[in-house]
Amino acid sequence: MAELRMTDAEVARDFRAVLDRVQRGVDIVIERDARPVAVLRATPSRRRKLSEIAASLAESSTATLDPDFAADLDAIIESHREPLNPPEWD
């Protein structure tokens, strides 16, 4: 992974551009008086499985699933057990 060192003043001058770089995978080491103070790094994306979403629904939601939808969802989950490998641009 790429790393770029910048002063706090450089980061403050164009924070949006710094975040664009971070989003593209560059770690930004922020320095003050030539000393590292902090690192800006992109957070990993968290993808949840449909089965996890369905399992948490009863606990965290007042929504209800009708029996037909639940059966359809179970069938979809069972028919697609392979891991999702999305393209890098996703």
Looking at residue 85, what is its pLDDT? 73
pTM: 0.51
Looking at residue 1, what is its pLDDT? 66
SS (H, E, C) 10-71: HHHHCHHHHHHHHHCCCEEEEEECCEEEEEECCCCCCCCCHHHHHHHHHHHCCCCCCHHHHH
CB proximity list for 51: less than 8 A, separation 6 or greater: 77
Per-residue pLDDT of the chain (90 residues; tens, 9 = 90+): 689 999 999 999 999 999 999 999 999 999 999 999 999 999 887 777 767 777 777 666 776 667 787 788 788 888 877 777 767 764
Looking at residue 59, what is its pLDDT? 62
Looking at residue 41, what is its pLDDT? 95
